[in-house]
């Protein structure tokens, strides 16, 4: 496999080659668009990523990105720019650029960005090859339960907050809801719900012959009617939870719960793709900042290439009333689609998180709780829209 460097300045090309030397990829140095397209034609599917150096001006860099998008849309493109701007990022999004880095970035940052781009390109190719005829891979198998996955490719957008509160909102309709923490390295579901699990998803994943009844024993109950499958407590063991195990666990939960809500990390891993495959709805979350919208756009482009039906996707903007110079119409213009739901800012959110009490229970009649109930009602029309009466905390962890 190979990475193309597109940089006309010899010193810049040499520096990039040195920065990428730690990758397990051949490095092909080219000086411009023509040479890069020649390399694509010669190497074909061997090329996984292209790094466009700062020796090309913005117009030249975007031209190269456009040509690569047309000739080899699965090649991940990373740009290095002397000056980063919102306009540059928005233009780069239109051509499927995976990341835009400052030209002053150090070698480790460049190598890490390209490594992430290669990982995504590799996963994308593998899954497209596994879906002949354009069918979406891993369509839900028709069980009664519905799986809803919450995802954002940028940290800090409120994925865990939304996932936990959405689960509580769905449970308010009188049904039991499973909540899966798929952020295997740094999951916070247990902390946000003030739970103390004795078993985690890693324990469930390694059990042979796991069935729906046995899986129940790995879940930790919350007094709001939510059953949580917590993330591993030690990040090093997270890699033992395979995508296949995730798929099996979600199928089993679907068979015994009316709703399964999945919280995710800020990365498109094999485990996250397995969750997407099983999902009836995917809530893509962003906030009103350019990096977050950029990552949302790239996620939507990836999901389009993987042939996930648009009808399964909901676009949600958190803290949508923040006055930060970016407006909702700007976001919709960049995304090329409308935003399905907005969640306002509220000081009740960090208060509820710090207390370990979902905002739907902490401030059930607030604007944030109302917005989450609207999402729950859209995803599950039978869900009660009125806040449920508070349940006594004395019942938590009671044993007979």
Closest CA relative to residue 54, chosen from 30, 33, 81: 81
Region of residue 164 (phi > 0: left; psi between -120 and 50: alpha; otherwise: beta): alpha
Closest CA relative to residue 271, chosen from 108, 54, 119: 119
Q: What pLDDT is attached to residue 184?
A: 92
Q: What pLDDT is attached to residue 148?
A: 96
Q: Label the pairing between strands 220-222 and 313-318.
A: unpaired
Q: What pLDDT is attached to residue 142?
A: 46
Contact call for residues 311 and 107 (beta carbons, < 8 A): no
pLDDT tens, 81-111? Answer: 988 666 777 677 666 688 888 899 999 999 9
Q: What pLDDT is attached to residue 132?
A: 46
3-state helix, strand, coil in the chain (%, to 5): 45, 15, 35
**Start-to-end C-alpha separation, the chain:** 59
Taking the C-alpha atoms of residue 331 and residue 334, their distance in angstroms, rounded to an integer, is 5
Q: What pLDDT is attached to residue 188?
A: 92
Q: What pLDDT is attached to residue 94?
A: 66
**pLDDT-derived band of residue 316, with 50, 70 and 90 as boundaries?**
very high
Closest CA relative to residue 81, chosen from 103, 50, 51: 103
Average the pLDDT over 50-58 and give the result: 93
pTM of the shown model: 0.70
Q: What pLDDT is attached to residue 400?
A: 31
Q: What pLDDT is attached to residue 130?
A: 55
Taking the C-alpha atoms of residue 113 and residue 305, their distance in angstroms, rounded to an integer, is 21
pLDDT tens, 213-228? Answer: 889 889 998 988 899 9
Q: Examine the pLDDT at 312 and tell me if it is beyond 80.
A: yes
Q: Examine the pLDDT at 205 and tell me if it is beyond 70.
A: yes
Taking the C-alpha atoms of residue 301 and residue 294, their distance in angstroms, rounded to an integer, is 11
**pLDDT-derived band of residue 334, with 50, 70 and 90 as boundaries?**
confident
Mean pLDDT of the chain: 84
Average the pLDDT over 168-193 and give the result: 91
Q: What pLDDT is attached to residue 370?
A: 93
Q: What pLDDT is attached to residue 259?
A: 94
pLDDT tens, 128-180? Answer: 555 544 444 444 444 468 999 999 988 888 999 999 999 999 998 888 899 99
pLDDT tens, 344-361? Answer: 888 888 888 888 889 899
Task: Specify the range with the lowest mean pLDDT, choosing from 220-229, 366-375, 391-400.
Answer: 391-400
Taking the C-alpha atoms of residue 158 and residue 8, their distance in angstroms, rounded to an integer, is 42
Average the pLDDT over 115-140 and give the result: 61
Average the pLDDT over 385-398 and give the result: 40
Q: What pLDDT is attached to residue 397?
A: 32
What SS3 state is found at 341?
strand
Q: What pLDDT is attached to residue 371?
A: 92
Q: What pLDDT is attached to residue 138?
A: 41
Question: Which helix H or strand E contains 300, and what residues bound it?
Answer: helix 290-305
Q: Examine the pLDDT at 266 and tell me if it is beyond 80.
A: yes
pLDDT tens, 290-302? Answer: 888 888 998 898 8
Q: At what angle do helices 367-379 and 159-171 cross, to 10 degrees?
A: 70
> How many other CB atoms are found less than 10 A from the CB of residue 260?
31
């Amino acid at each position: 496999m190979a990475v193309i460097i597109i940089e006309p300045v010899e010193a810049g090309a040499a520096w990039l080659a040195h920065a990428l030397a730690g990758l397990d990829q051949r490095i092909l140095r080219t000086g411009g668009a023509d040479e890069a397209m020649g390399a694509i034609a010669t190497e074909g599917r061997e090329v996984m990523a292209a790094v466009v150096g700062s020796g090309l001006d913005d117009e030249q860099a975007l031209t190269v990105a456009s040509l690569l998008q047309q000739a080899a849309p699965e090649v991940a493109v990373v740009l290095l720019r002397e000056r980063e701007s919102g306009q540059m990022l928005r233009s780069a999004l239109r051509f499927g650029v995976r990341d835009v880095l400052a030209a002053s970035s150090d070698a480790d940052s460049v190598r890490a960005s390209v490594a992430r781009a290669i990982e995504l390109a590799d996963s994308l190719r593998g899954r497209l090859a596994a879906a002949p005829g354009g069918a979406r891979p891993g369509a839900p198998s028709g069980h009664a339960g519905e799986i809803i996955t919450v995802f954002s490719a940028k940290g800090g957008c409120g994925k865990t907050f939304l996932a936990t509160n959405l689960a509580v909102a769905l449970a308010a309709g009188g049904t039991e809801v499973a909540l899966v923490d798929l952020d295997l390295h740094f999951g916070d579901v247990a902390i946000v719900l003030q739970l103390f699990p004795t078993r985690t998803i890693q324990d469930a994943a390694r059990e042979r012959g796991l069935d729906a009844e046995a899986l129940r024993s790995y879940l930790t109950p919350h007094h709001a009617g939510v059953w949580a499958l917590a993330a591993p407590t030690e990040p090093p063991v997270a890699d033992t939870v395979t995508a296949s195990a995730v798929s099996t666990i979600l199928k089993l939960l679907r068979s015994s719960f009316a709703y399964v809500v999945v919280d995710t990390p800020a990365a498109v891993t094999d485990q996250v793709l397995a969750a997407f495959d099983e999902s009836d709805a995917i809530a893509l979350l962003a906030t009103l900042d350019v990096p977050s919208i950029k990552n949302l756009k790239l996620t939507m482009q990836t999901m389009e290439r993987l042939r996930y039906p648009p009808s399964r996707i909901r676009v949600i903007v958190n803290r949508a009333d923040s006055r930060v110079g970016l407006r909702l119409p700007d976001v919709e213009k960049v995304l090329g689609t409308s935003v399905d739901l907005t969640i306002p800012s509220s000081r009740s959110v960090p208060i509820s998180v710090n207390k370990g009490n979902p905002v739907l229970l902490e401030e059930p009649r607030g604007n944030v709780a109302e917005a989450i109930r609207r999402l729950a009602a859209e995803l599950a029309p039978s869900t009660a829209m009125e806040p449920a009466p508070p349940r006594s905390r004395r019942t938590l962890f009671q044993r007979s």
